[in-house]
């Protein structure tokens, strides 16, 4: 069996509009210790991350404590919304969840995000059979992965987790077949 712990990043500083370089808030930085504590007894053998600063910074403390390298995988990045900042994120997200092909000019649909995330995940599963893996990722990206394996995970479920940072989901696989999905929420 292979266990993959997807870690949704800690709280970012939304005043920074640059999605790639958006840092964690001070509270987000403190919450990285919760991620380290949670993963410390999970026998993680490899760590992967989105290239976004907030994802890397969320898993960095654990990587250092476990003496593991963070392998950056571009396909685990968050979805690109479009070429401009949108003020009404909730309206946009709802539209995307109701139409998985909906996207703004220059942006990605949830289908696009799901395809690239699942492709990257399947490559990792193929190369790391019977290992425990940690992947630092993002809320929408992680939600599309959950949805791929459980179609009941929809907009209402996304709404329940959208403000949870950090948030960890453990996927248990036999080869590339999903056996179990377990969610972990932090106080």
Condensed to tens digits (0 to 9), the pLDDT of residues 89-101 reads 889 999 999 999 9
Q: What is the CATH number of the domain that holds 143?
A: 3.40.50.1240
Q: What are the pLDDT digits (tens) for 14-68?
A: 899 888 999 999 999 999 999 999 999 999 999 999 999 999 999 999 999 999 9
Rounded-to-integer distance, Cα 87 and Cα 14, Å: 12
Strands in 167-174's sheet, in edge-to-edge order, are 70-72, 44-49, 132-137, 2-8, 167-174, 177-185
Name residue 135's beta-bridge partners. Answer: 6, 48
Residue 82 has pLDDT above 90, yes or no: no
Is 176 within 8 Å of 125 (Cβ atoms)? yes
Is 35 within 8 Å of 44 (Cβ atoms)? no
Q: Which domain holds residue 77?
A: 2-185
**Domain count within the chain:** 1
Residue 160 has pLDDT above 90, yes or no: yes
Q: Which helix (H) or strand (E) holds 56?
A: helix 53-66
Quick count: other Cβ atoms within 10 Å of Cβ 52?
24
Q: What is the pTM of this model?
A: 0.95
Beta strand spans in the chain (E):
2-8, 44-49, 70-72, 132-137, 167-174, 177-185
Name residue 167's beta-bridge partners. Answer: 8, 185
């Amino acid at each position: 069996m292979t266990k993959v712990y997807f870690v949704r990043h800690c709280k970012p500083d939304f005043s920074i509009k640059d999605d790639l370089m958006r840092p964690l808030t001070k509270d987000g930085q403190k919450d990285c210790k919760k991620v380290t504590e949670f993963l410390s007894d999970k026998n993680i053998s490899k760590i992967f991350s989105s290239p976004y600063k907030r994802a890397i910074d969320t898993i960095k403390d654990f990587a250092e404590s476990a003496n593991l390298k963070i392998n950056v995988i571009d396909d685990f990045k968050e979805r690109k919304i479009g070429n401009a900042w949108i003020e009404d994120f909730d309206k946009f997200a709802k539209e995307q969840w109701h139409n998985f092909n909906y996207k703004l000019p220059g942006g990605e649909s949830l289908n696009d995000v799901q395809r690239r995330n699942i492709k990257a995940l399947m490559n990792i599963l193929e190369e790391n059979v019977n290992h425990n893996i940690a992947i630092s990722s993002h809320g929408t990206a992680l939600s599309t992965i959950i949805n791929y394996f459980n179609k009941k995970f929809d907009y209402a479920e996304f709404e329940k987790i959208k403000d949870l940072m950090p948030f960890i989901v453990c996927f248990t696989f036999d080869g590339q077949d999903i056996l179990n999905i377990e969610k972990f929420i932090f106080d």
